[in-house]
Structure 1
Amino acid sequence: SSLDEILFGEPTQPAMGRRKPYPKALSSLLRQLVYPSLAATRYLRRRRHAESDTLAVLTYHGVLPASYEAHDSFFDDAMIQADAFRRQLRFLKSNYSVITPEDCQQWLQGELRLPGGAVLLTCDDGLLNNVTAMVPLLQEEGLKCLFFLTGDSASDHPGIPWYFQLYFFLMLAPAGVSRMDFEASAIVLSLRSRAEREATWWRLMRELSKHDSKLRRVFLERLRVAAGLSENWEAAYRQDSGLRERYVPLSASDLSHLLKSDMTIGGHTLSHPVLARTTSELAWKEILEGRQALQQAVGKPIWAFAYPFGDAGSVTDREFDFAREAGYECAFLNFGGCVSDTSRHRRFALPRLHVSANMQISELEALVSGFDWSLRCWFGA
């Protein structure tokens, strides 16, 4: 459109496709002035509807339970409040065409043409709040969602995900800098401030992804002891309803509930590692056996996959090949704008749009319209 040409000229892709945050001043200007103004003129809506046969795939990570008190923005900003989710669903339903996962499947196979302004809802990680808080709101609005679950959800009593455990233990470990010997290497724990603890968590996420679940448990057990937690520390998270719904994964019985609610289940590996950091043998095992575990639990094919984290630094061409060879029909990233008629043919690197906790409706519309991604490309953000 002409406004795009005036604003963007010739866009360039951000380095490595990463969705970096805008500078703080620019972010504030966009949130408070630019996006609301463009939404009020209906430009964003016209922009989206003018693009035929394209799809905006939204990524959620769940709805915060009513009894859970959000207190950690580093973790909780990935999830959305129930009222905000309801407002977003109603807005999308009224102004766009929210399609079903099966519509998307048919479109990718070339068997269906999408309506203007098509939007697909997806949700990653498969936590208990997906069933207790998210599905009721989807049913209330008559909408469907594609839920990406790890293989842990195929079990009757899945444990709290290892990356949550790692974060909890690091937050509670004594302040300072220490070293922990692990698998012939010394892991440095820099825990002098909250910022250092958060940075150490992400560094160890990548490091521990090189190892299988058994070795990760060995490291986490040592870290639990260092943090001064008892062996039954997890009981508190299961006894409190808010903590349980926030941090505990869905179980095999919950998968049946999802299907009975007419939702669709996709794969998300066995245990949610940073795939690009794993060995080829482990990456293949995570992708293939995650699908097999879910299929055995639900008794039907699992055709869609989402890469854990889904940024450009966590996925390589190797993972694209493995997803195809494991039998999936398509696989989703977590960046890259809308799926166009061209990019839909790259079925194992389909882009998505991440929805964050405090996103206003005008921001959501900038996301769905593709305007936000074009702006990021222009800025190289």
Structure 2
Amino acid sequence: MLSSDTKHRVFATGFRAIQAIGADRWMAPTSRGLGVILTFHHVSPDAPPAFAPNRLLSITPDFLDLTLRELDARGFEVISLDAVPERLAEPDYGPPFAVLTFDDGYRDNVAHARLVLARHNAPWTLFATSAFADQTGRLWWIELERAIARLDRIRIDIGARSVDLPARSPGEKALAFDAIYRDLRGGGEAELLARIAVLCRQAGFEPGQIASELCLSWADLRDLAKDPAVTIGAHTVSHPMLAKHPEAFAAQEIAEGRARIEAALDRPVRHLSYPVGDPGSAGPREFALARMQGFATAVTTRPGHLFAGHARHLHALPRVSINGCHQTRAALGGLLSGVPFLAWNRGRRLNVA
């Protein structure tokens, strides 16, 4: 299996090749679709340290600004998520559209992204996880990174297997993170949370402390919700990989996450983002739950652009992640053209099964 660094090098080579032959321009009318929903997480001016396995989730304010300028240069109209169903129902409307979405509810979205977005008069959606707004909840992917960053050796049991890996250098830490992340993601979420909690304590901190540092509180969200450019969406209660859990649990996470935001902000919540959002975390069962609970749209992290056929699948909408490992104009051009997704989705315009 390729390491994460190797995968990113392959992607970077592909983006440069698409740009070099101009495919991001001449293929765009066919591959681009009616529009695109972009996914962001962190926006921060801070340079990542040598060991930063979650750096793909963070971009700089300058790159966010470049993204918005590139959208404009390529003729995209930035619209709110509320407008997507109508735009998909009118395939001959005109220019392609783009929607800007930010997952989890991080403080840096307000501290750094909001200023850039306001400068461009861009509407945007923030998907809030209610346990993170409580300043609790487990941002386990960051807990895992921080634990490995502090430890010189990683000793942990995963299932019936004992893991014992060196973690002295940034390279060793990256290999340990990749190995543990891969194995834990492949199993149940209860074990994932329990094993990462063990590593947190070995590293000298308690699990569940990071949300108060990184995530917006309810007071912060109430203040943000006053901004007419901002739509607040739901991202469940505790950010679980829903498809790994019984249906009743998944339904409750979706419903309660929405209800808590509506109660705190005194406004309806019309949009849902599935945590993690890949096929192993959200599938047809979750799409049906979101539809039955009356959400106008629900978004995945399945990569792709939006086509007219998505009007019949508003609760399984794909998104395009703006990746912190690829903060280049070539990467933006490729992603906004839709060309990479022709191969990724094997020529399919819809990936909703």
SS in 2 for 1:146: strand
Q: Provide Cα deviations, 1:70-105, integer angstroms capped at 9, x if missing partner.
A: 443410122111111111112212332111222224
Residue 336 of structure 2: which of 347, 353, 368 is its match?
Answer: 368
The 1:188/1:314 distance shift into structure 2, 3 A limit, reads farther
Q: Provide Cα deviations, 1:5-47, integer angstroms capped at 9, x if missing partner.
A: xxxxxxxxxxxxxxx999777645433343244168x425555
SS in 2 for 1:375: helix
SS in 2 for 1:372: helix
Name the amino acid aligned to 1:224.
Answer: C
Q: Provide Cα deviations, 1:176-227, integer angstroms capped at 9, x if missing partner.
A: 54438xxxx767444344313332134335545247xxx95x7655443333
TM norm structure 1: 0.76
- The answer to whether 1:143 aligns with 2:92 is no
- The answer to whether 1:224 aligns with 2:200 is yes
Question: 2:8, 2:142 → 1: CA distance?
Answer: 28
SS in 1 for 2:39: strand
Match of 1:43 in 2: 26
Alignment gaps of 5+ in structure 1: 1-19, 239-243
Alignment gaps of 5+ in structure 2: 167-171, 349-353
SS in 2 for 1:364: helix
Match of 2:18 in 1: 34
SS in 1 for 2:101: strand
Q: Provide Cα deviations, 1:96-155, integer angstroms capped at 9, x if missing partner.
A: 2111222224435x4897432211111111111111111111001110111111112443
Question: 1:377, 1:62 → 2: CA distance?
Answer: 27
- The answer to whether 1:335 aligns with 2:287 is no
Q: Which has the larger radius of gyration?
A: 1
Match of 2:319 in 1: 352
Question: 2:271, 2:67 → 1: CA distance?
Answer: 24
Residue 256 of structure 1: which of 222, 227, 236 is its match?
Answer: 222
The 1:254/1:342 distance shift into structure 2, 3 A limit, reads same
* 1:99 and 1:120 in contact (8 A); partners too: yes
Aligned length: 336
* 2:131 and 2:238 in contact (8 A); partners too: yes
Match of 2:276 in 1: 309
Aligned-CA RMSD value: 3.4
* 2:201 and 2:207 in contact (8 A); partners too: no
TM norm structure 2: 0.81
Question: 2:266, 2:176 → 1: CA distance?
Answer: 44
- The answer to whether 1:98 aligns with 2:74 is no
* 1:128 and 1:249 in contact (8 A); partners too: yes
